[in-house]
Amino acid sequence: MSVEQEKKAPRLPPRWFIRLAWHVHRGIYRVFGGRVGLWRPRPGKWGTLRLTTTGRRTGQRRSVIVAYVEDGPRLVTLAMNGWGEAEPAWWLNLQAHPDATVDLVGGRRQVRGRAATGDERTRLWARWREIDTNLDAFAALRSSETAVVILEPGTQGAGQQAG
């Protein structure tokens, strides 16, 4: 691949297609009662989890399926919104109400979300870059920095059960 090709901005599918894919993925998860739609990360690959946050304005529980990697007992995801300009609603919700639940292949757990900063962010971004060599090019499509979100094991009573 030439230097010119590497610097060329990646091409995203149309926004309607990205949103449709999200809805289909959540639908598959629901139809199969959570038995299909989530997977564990493998070497060089990310996994998927279902994150349930509390709405910052409504107080209602909101669920979304996101990609993640593991960092010890912590789960790490990117607040990228399909590389769209706006921050994802789940990230805005998590900033307002950091306690949440995640559903993984192995079950549900309570977590507390926060943004990685400094050297921690740099290290975790590099891990994601190993999985997606186009990560920096995709991130450059957004005018603001893409948050690296850490979901740490929650405390007793953190979050609420999701339905």
Task: Assign 147 to helix, strand or coil.
Answer: strand
pTM for the model stands at 0.81
Flag whether 1 is in a domain: no
CATH number at residue 48: 2.30.110.10
Flag whether 100 is in a domain: yes
Averaged over 113-142, what is the pLDDT? 93
Flag whether 6 is in a domain: no
Q: Which residues contact 70 (CB under 8 A, 6 or more apart)?
A: 41, 47, 76
Give residue 10's pLDDT. Answer: 72
Q: What is the DSSP string of 42-78?
A: BTTB-EEEEEEEE-TTT--EEEEEEEEEEETTEEEEE
Give residue 7's pLDDT. Answer: 56
Domain that holds residue 131: 12-153
Identify which has the larger pLDDT, 102 or 11. 102
Instruction: Specify the amino acid at residue 50.
Output: R
Rounded Cα distance, 37 and 161, in Å:
19
CA angle 29, 52, 72 (to 5 degrees): 95
Give residue 2's pLDDT. Answer: 41
Give residue 27's pLDDT. Answer: 74
pLDDT tens sequence across 138-153: 888 888 899 999 999 9
Task: Assign 29 to helix, strand or coil.
Answer: helix
Rounded Cα distance, 125 and 31, in Å:
34
Q: What are phi and psi of 138, to 5 degrees?
A: -65, -45
Rounded Cα distance, 77 and 150, in Å:
7
pLDDT tens sequence across 76-121: 999 987 777 889 999 999 999 999 999 999 899 999 999 999 999 9
pLDDT tens sequence across 12-64: 777 666 676 767 767 777 766 667 679 899 999 999 999 999 999 999 999 99
Rounded Cα distance, 118 and 106, in Å:
31
Flag whether 4 is in a domain: no
Look up residue 118 and give its two tokens.
């400094």
Flag whether 46 is in a domain: yes
Count of domains forming the chain: 1
